[in-house]
Structure 1
Amino acid sequence: MKKNMGSADKIIRIIVAAIIVLFYFTGTISGTLGILLLVLAGIFVLTSFISFCPLYAPFGISTCSVKEKR
């Protein structure tokens, strides 16, 4: 599995996940929408830790900085 996420992308995903969790546990979002957003937050955290987003792969997107080989 080739890394395709840069550090800025990972930080943004973790911040968004933290905001979703905060909103869920303060009662701002609830019900089915809350559960779906919690699942999305979990996916964001997981993909941030492994530095790979499966949705980027089919489209050839990579936010990871690539160092040139000489």
Structure 2
Amino acid sequence: MDTNVGTIDRMLRIGSALVVAGLYAGGVISGTWALGLGVVSGVLLLTGAVSFCPLYRLIGVSTCPVDSTA
């Protein structure tokens, strides 16, 4: 599986997932918002961890730097 999520993109995805987890733990968000944001955050955390986003593949986007030696 090729990677299509670059380093900065990974950091933003993982960071935003951690922010949402912190908001939930602090009681700032709850109910339906927590469920919806939890699902989105889980997807962001997973795609950030494995450096691959299926949606990026579908639309032909990659945030990884281009290897100029190829």
The TM-score with structure 2 as length reference comes to 0.90
Q: Do residues 44 (structure 1) and 44 (structure 2) align?
A: yes
Provide the residue aligned with 2:6 in structure 1. 6
Match of 2:23 in 1: 23
Give secondary structure in 2 for the equivalent of 1:55.
Answer: helix
RMSD over equivalenced CA pairs, Å: 1.1
Larger mean CA deviation between 39-48 and 7-16 belongs to: 39-48
Q: Which runs of 4+ in 1 moved over 3 A?
A: none
Q: Percent identity?
A: 41
Unpaired runs of 5+ in structure 1?
none
Q: Answer whether contact 2:24 2:30 (CA < 8 A) is retained.
A: yes
TM-score, with structure 1 as normaliser:
0.90
The CA deviation at 1:69 is 3.4
Aligned residues: 70
Q: 1:67 aligns to what?
A: 67
Unaligned runs of 5+ in 2: none
